[in-house]
Amino acid sequence: MNFVLYDYETDGLSVNHSQIISCGAILVNDDWQELDEPLNLTCRLKTSQVPSPEALLVNNISIDTLKKINLSHGSMIEQMKQKFDKWSPAVFMGFNNTSYDREICRRTLWKNLYDNPYLTEFNGNSHFDLLGVARAVNLFFPKALKYNMNDKNNISFKLQDLCLANGIINKIQHSAYEDCIATMELAKLIQKNAPEVFKSALETTSKSGANNYLQKLDVFCTTEYYSQKPHAFCVKFLTYHPKYQWMQAWDLKNHPTDYIKMPYQQLKEELKKSPKKIRQIKTNKHPIVMTKEYALQFESYAQLGMNKLMERAKIIEENPDFIEKVNQILLEEANEKEALDSPIGLLPEDTMYLHGFPNDDEKKIMNEFHKVDWSEKLKVAEKFKDDRYKYFAELYLYNENPTALPDAVFKKIHKSIADKILSTDEQKYQTIPNAMKEIDDARAEYENDKEKLKILEEINAYIINMEKIYLNAQKG
């Protein structure tokens, strides 16, 4: 089994609207030995979107580099894809990659018209998030790692704080490649000091693997993180969500007999109350679980004892009508929620999960789009029946090689981008007015930091130049 350690630096926080500006990745075997040349790439900023000054400050990549570097965003993503394809199958490991790196990787591949946005999960690949593992280590083996506290006197689970506390690194460079190295060193330490957690985490790196493993355990200890603290729950597998297929498990702190005979509407209301009786486990997001014995480390379960916990699990098993009632409630609530949700006002970038995968015909067009010369790409893009892919193709050409666009098409795109990024309304994406506000706020925050103020002035000059260019586009 091989691991791919990967990390991205981006120009913003939105997974739908941000750009990857730096990509780091390392291929290792299960002894942590490097097997190939690592990936360490930085690309220039796309001209079609506004970077977040806050994000650029954190990433510590100069605006001059991001303007002048030869590598375009499209070329960097192509190199990344080729490398990931070459390294597959593997376990793709990151830190907090479940909620960010994996999601922005999917969307970036999708918007760049690659036919498999789930590259890090399909074709034998799977997904490992070390952040969830580190939190579980704190629950089950609290002495295995050292910790720093944050300003609210809670344990900090930031990568840099964990690495500093455990002597892995002395100074944070905060680059994608350096974060890969830090993640690998932290993983090695966890594997050494809490091997039980690391081994268990390997069982749930894929959705199918997690489902099979948890159903086989039936009663187990699952972990969640909220209120800035990790929490453990001893649960019994109940069912899968009838619409979303997420695993549902009964928290055995609650005696099921109290709920089994409840009328439907009363049960529906009770299940809404906090603390939750049913814990939802998204098995496609690398849940960290331990065997049921670990629940006895926690007072609420230790007081009950394992015999009582298993008695409660048996009661649930013997009442399929109760499970069916729960399924009906879950389906009804999902339908109620969907009736309230509206796709109105969504941009193409917001719709990856709304309309399914590209069909076989669209995949063929995507592959053709990348194979043909620049002069033929727009003609190929016209074959798409889904207007989103036509939109992404035009943006791709606008950013990668605008001379490949006819003048009328270029002006149309240029004007639409101007209208978008010059908006004074609050948007899901970064606008020029909002970027200027971020700069003003950062100047006040870092008024005594000459280095950061210098970087801010460079970013400010970049944003002002963008504004001039797109104001002219609006004027026609």
The reply to whether 175 and 228 lie within a common domain is: no
Task: Tell me whether strands 219-226 and 289-291 are parallel, antiparallel or unpaired.
Answer: antiparallel
For the stretch 338-347, pLDDT in tens is: 877 766 679 9
Lowest mean pLDDT across 171-180, 221-230, 425-434: 171-180
The reply to whether 365 and 226 lie within a common domain is: no
46, 466 contact by CB (below 8 A): no
Please, what is the average pLDDT of the chain? Answer: 96
pLDDT at 333: 95
Please check whether residue 150 lies inside any domain of the structure.
yes
Question: In CATH, what number is assigned to the domain containing residue 136?
Answer: 3.30.420.10
For the stretch 67-117, pLDDT in tens is: 999 999 999 999 999 999 999 999 999 999 999 999 999 999 999 999 999
Residues paired with 94 in a beta bridge: 129
Give SS3 for 342: coil
pLDDT at 173: 66
Please check whether residue 344 lies inside any domain of the structure.
no
The reply to whether 316 and 386 lie within a common domain is: no
Domain count of the chain? 3
Please check whether residue 345 lies inside any domain of the structure.
no
The reply to whether 335 and 354 lie within a common domain is: no
* Domain endpoint, select from 339, 371, 397: 339
CA distance 74 to 46: 9
Question: In CATH, what number is assigned to the domain containing residue 307?
Answer: 3.30.1520.20
Please check whether residue 159 lies inside any domain of the structure.
yes
417, 473 contact by CB (below 8 A): yes
For the stretch 270-285, pLDDT in tens is: 999 999 999 999 999 9
The reply to whether 281 and 391 lie within a common domain is: no
pLDDT at 399: 98
Please check whether residue 447 lies inside any domain of the structure.
yes
Query: Average of pLDDT values for 313-320?
Result: 97
99, 163 contact by CB (below 8 A): no
45, 66 contact by CB (below 8 A): yes
Range of the domain at 330: 206-339
Choose among 163, 7, 168, 110: nearest CA to 396: 110
The reply to whether 221 and 192 lie within a common domain is: no
Query: Average of pLDDT values for 384-408?
Result: 97
- Give the pair of three-digit tokens for residue 356: 């399914």
Query: Average of pLDDT values for 302-320?
Result: 98
The residue length of the chain stands at 476
Cβ atoms < 10 Å from Cβ of 230: 20
Confidence class for position 129, pLDDT limits 50, 70, 90: very high
CA distance 63 to 24: 19
pLDDT at 170: 60
pLDDT at 172: 58
Looking at residue 153, the DSSP 8-state letter turns out to be S
DSSP line for 343-392:
-TT--GGG-TTTS-S--HHHHHHHHHHHHS-HHHHHHHHTT-SSHHHHHH
- Give the pair of three-digit tokens for residue 88: 């597959």
The reply to whether 271 and 326 lie within a common domain is: yes
Measure the CA angle with vertex 26, ends 206 and 136; round to 5°: 45
pTM attached to this predicted model? 0.95
Please check whether residue 201 lies inside any domain of the structure.
no
Choose among 78, 91, 94: nearest CA to 187: 94
Please check whether residue 168 lies inside any domain of the structure.
yes
Give SS3 for 149: strand
The reply to whether 369 and 451 lie within a common domain is: yes
Task: Tell me whether strands 20-28 and 278-281 are parallel, antiparallel or unpaired.
Answer: unpaired
For the chain, counts of helices (H) and of strands (E): 20, 10
CA distance 472 to 415: 9
The reply to whether 355 and 330 lie within a common domain is: no
pLDDT at 340: 78
Query: Average of pLDDT values for 30-45?
Result: 98
* Domain endpoint, select from 143, 168, 196: 196
The reply to whether 248 and 267 lie within a common domain is: yes
Give SS3 for 181: helix
Confidence class for position 298, pLDDT limits 50, 70, 90: very high
- Give the pair of three-digit tokens for residue 185: 């060193």
- One-letter-per-residue 3-state SS of 82-115: HHHHHHCCCEEEECCHHHHHHHHHHHHHHHCCCC
Give me the helix-helix angle, 130-140 and 176-193, nearest 10°.
Answer: 30
Query: What sign does the dihedral 284-428-466-434 (CA atoms) show?
Result: negative
pLDDT at 345: 78
The reply to whether 284 and 431 lie within a common domain is: no
312 pLDDT higher than 70 = yes
- One-letter-per-residue 3-state SS of 446-469: CCCCHHHHHHHHHHHHHHHHHHHH
The rounded percent of the chain whose pLDDT value lies above 70 is 98
* Domain endpoint, select from 173, 196, 219: 196
The reply to whether 167 and 288 lie within a common domain is: no
For the stretch 155-177, pLDDT in tens is: 999 999 999 999 997 665 679 99
142, 294 contact by CB (below 8 A): no
Give SS3 for 346: coil
pLDDT at 342: 67
Query: Average of pLDDT values for 410-422?
Result: 97
The rounded percent of the chain whose pLDDT value lies above 90 is 92
Query: Average of pLDDT values for 129-142?
Result: 98
